[in-house]
Structure 1
Amino acid sequence: MSTVCSVYTHFLWKLEHSVVCYNMSGLFIPIVWVIGLLPHTFSVLLIAFYGAPFSNVIPRSNFNGLTTKKVPIHIQQMAMKAQGAHRNGHECFPLFVAAVLIMNGSPVPFHKQNVYAISYAVLRILFNTLYIFVSSEGVSLVRSLVWNMCNILTFSMIIEGVVAQMRF
């Protein structure tokens, strides 16, 4: 047990050291892209599990006419919401990339850039989860709040990166 605890403690120390001492924010560009892709993968697997045929020839038509494919209505809705989360993730992606690149070209400390990038990734995971699984109007407002937090975070990254480069 002591060895496991020692390995775990060493891992946590290395992780904390990396966040503080190295700029890892650029690594979050592909991570956030994958986070945006996961809902699409989930929706494809979901409809395929229920017997809906999948065509890679015209992939964007796979979600048209699911009712004729005998997929239960709640599964259709979940698959369509997952597609919405996927599209939203890729719509927001360019702004995140711009924010990371602006901050990387600025004198903003590495640990701050890392915290911004990690926070954005965590918020996108939360957004995707809420988008796919929430079915009440009231709780969907939380999803909108998380979406706004993501945007505020990216704008903060851009503003802080630009302001840090200004010389007064």
Structure 2
Amino acid sequence: MAYSLDTAGLSLYAIPVLWFTVQWPHAQKLVAASKALNTHPGDINCDPRMMIDWCNQKDVPQPVVERLRRLQSAHLNGVESFPFWMGTLIAANAFGVDAKTTNAVAAYLIVARCAYNYFYIYNDGKSRGMAGSRSLTWLSTNIACFFLLVKAANLLIAKSMM
């Protein structure tokens, strides 16, 4: 079966891909922290929110700790944003927003999230450009979701007025 932007429901596959983009920074943090602490990842995964504190207690170099903070922040932002993305894609599909539009926005969300993670994780705190790009990327994903939600709401209202 051939898929295209016109394939109905294709955008729903973006949900697990987006979930992966949210979890990737956490996995990177786990590996980087275990390396910095010279321990097995399973040993620190028992309380992953404490990794940065443990690194501070063990005198891990500050650049490593700062990178761990950025990884954690990217992960937490994704956890906060994921329900909005998922709800938007489900609503757009459920209320009949055209597949081409929904699929294009879904693809954009994936690409934008990867870019967001890059801008967040690899900004060493010295680049206002990367920080600004990260913020604009975050804003653009929200605008894309609102765009789809308004389309879904318009279709629902139009159906209720028939």
- TM class by shorter chain equals 0.7 to 0.9
Q: Measure the CA separation in 1 of the matches of 2:21 and 2:45.
A: 21
SS, match of residue 166 in structure 1:
helix
Say if 1:69 and 1:157 are closer, same or farther in 2 by CA, change over 3 A.
same
User: Contact 1:52 / 1:69 at 8 angstroms: preserved in 2?
Assistant: no
Q: Percent identity?
A: 25
Scaled by the length of structure 2, the TM-score of the pair is 0.86
User: Contact 1:103 / 1:157 at 8 angstroms: preserved in 2?
Assistant: yes
SS, match of residue 95 in structure 2:
coil
Which has the larger displacement, 120-129 or 49-58? 49-58
- Corresponding residue for 1:8? none
SS, match of residue 18 in structure 1:
coil
Aligned partner (choices 120, 129, 135) of residue 144 of structure 1: 135
- The alignment of Structure 1 onto Structure 2 pairs a total of residues equal to 154
Q: Measure the CA separation in 2 of the matches of 1:157 and 1:115.
A: 11
Scaled by the length of structure 1, the TM-score of the pair is 0.83
- Corresponding residue for 2:24? 38
| Offset from partner CA, 1:31-74 (integer Å, 9 cap, x none) | 11111000010111112222344423322212214133242211
RMSD over aligned Cα, in angstroms?
A: 1.8
User: Contact 2:25 / 2:74 at 8 angstroms: preserved in 1?
Assistant: yes
SS, match of residue 62 in structure 1:
helix
- Corresponding residue for 2:61? 72
Q: Compute the displacement of 1:99 (Å).
A: 0.5
User: Contact 1:23 / 1:111 at 8 angstroms: preserved in 2?
Assistant: no
List runs of 5+ in structure 2 lacking aligned partners: none
Counterparts in 2 of 1:103-118, with a 5 A limit?
Answer: 103-118=92-107
